[in-house]
Structure 1
Amino acid sequence: MSDDRLGLLYTEHNRWLKGWLYQRLGCNSQAADLAQDTFLRILTSQRKTGEKLILERPRAYLATVGQRLVCDYFRRQSLERAYLEMLATLPEGFSLSPEEQWHMRETLLQLDAMLDRLKPVVRTVFLLAQLDGLTYLQIARELGIGERTVKRHMATAFEACILNDVTF
């Protein structure tokens, strides 16, 4: 899709997309931000792939891209709430510097994005090991898979962490 075609898509459907997003978010400014992000994602994708995108149903396409961004937004909100709840449980007198808080929040977002790209079974194995502290044998029994398969899934998850430079 050329920039001209994207501009036309924006002109013809931006107002509709903002309304569609507002119905899901209930906030005009957030809907406007995600509408912009939707068009930016399309532009970035087109420039990266160089493919011409011909849209027979542009609103369906925009809604699909927008829905993914809405899901990302709510997932980030959930992570942010969990992070703030964790900070509230810290002992009195213990505080993190703004830089440490930023680093921790960024690490959580990186980890969340990395986990989202994993196959569900790999993600489950990783979370059972890292968050629940289960042994590989316990995970294998719980999921009804072999311990060797658990090790393979953990290797996949750790490789994703390394390739995405996620530090704990």
Structure 2
Amino acid sequence: MAADELAQRRDINALYTGHHDWLQRWLSRQTGCSEMAADLAQETFLRVIHKQQKDQCFSISYPRRYLRMAANSLMIDLFRRRAVEQAYQEALAQRADTCTLSLEEREIILETLQRLDRLLGQLPGPVRQAFLLSRLEGLTYAEIADQLKVSERTVKRYMQQAFVLCLDLMV
């Protein structure tokens, strides 16, 4: 084993042993669930290890601040995924016809919804709102312009931005 790899392992080991319990307690307070906190803490350290493996010069000046920010990001992602899943479950429950999906079909739908949620999260607020009004509500550009208090030309620009992002993600 190379000296660099050994030093990296020692750094990660020191980071883990020095901060894991603190991070798990912090996450437990944030989530109210010790099991979720344990999972998020482990995922946080896995991300740190992965980042260190990709970037040999990676170092952490303020470990607790860095770990808290990384864990917070993971926690937000988890809550967002759960919100999407909950909305999907509620939409299914409201359907008059009862359709049975296989577990695989359900996972594909949830994954697609989560990707859409991440995509929409990348759009600036007014662009996202215009896109959703057009695609989900079926409003015309003139109606969207009236609702958002912008010109129809601005709505066209917003929609162009949204479509460009969609195309970029398809490639």
Q: TM-score, normalised by structure 2?
A: 0.83
| Distance of aligned partners of 1:58 and 1:148 in 2 relative to their CA distance in 1, 3 Å threshold | same
Q: Is the 8 A contact 2:141 2:155 kept in 1?
A: yes
Give the counterpart of 1:108 among 105, 113, 136: 113
Tell me whether 1:38 sits opposite 2:44 in the alignment: yes
Give the counterpart of 1:117 among 105, 117, 122: 122
Question: CA–CA distance in 2 between the matches of 1:64 and 1:39?
Answer: 12
How far has the Cα of 1:51 moved from its partner?
Answer: 4.3
The residue that corresponds to 2:161 in the other structure is 156
| Distance of aligned partners of 1:5 and 1:121 in 2 relative to their CA distance in 1, 3 Å threshold | farther
Q: Is the 8 A contact 1:122 1:156 kept in 2?
A: yes
> Deviations 1:24-72 (Å, cap 9, x if unpaired)?
11212211111112122233334445543331x3212211111121111
Tell me whether 1:126 sits opposite 2:131 in the alignment: yes
RMSD: 2.3
The residue that corresponds to 2:3 in the other structure is none
Q: Percent identity?
A: 44
The residue that corresponds to 1:21 in the other structure is 27
> Deviations 1:120-153 (Å, cap 9, x if unpaired)?
2222222222222222222222223232222222
The residue that corresponds to 1:68 in the other structure is 73
Stretches of structure 1 lacking an aligned partner (at least 5 in a row): none
Question: CA–CA distance in 2 between the matches of 1:50 and 1:129?
Answer: 46
Give the counterpart of 1:11 among 14, 17, 37: 17
The residue that corresponds to 2:4 in the other structure is none
Deviates more, 1:114-123 or 1:44-53: 44-53
Q: How many matched pairs?
A: 165
The residue that corresponds to 1:136 in the other structure is 141
Structure with more contact order per residue of length (Cα contacts < 8 Å, sep ≥ 6): 1
Q: Is the 8 A contact 1:111 1:161 kept in 2?
A: no
Give the counterpart of 2:59 among 42, 53, 68: 53
Stretches of structure 2 lacking an aligned partner (at least 5 in a row): 1-6
How far has the Cα of 1:156 moved from its partner?
Answer: 2.1
- Look at both structures and tell me which one has the larger radius of gyration over its CA atoms: 2
Q: TM-score, normalised by structure 1?
A: 0.84
Question: CA–CA distance in 1 between the matches of 2:147 and 2:56?
Answer: 45
Q: Aligned with 2:138: secondary structure?
A: coil
- The AA in structure 2 aligned to 1:14 is H
Question: CA–CA distance in 2 between the matches of 1:95 and 1:126?
Answer: 30
Question: CA–CA distance in 1 between the matches of 2:147 and 2:166?
Answer: 24
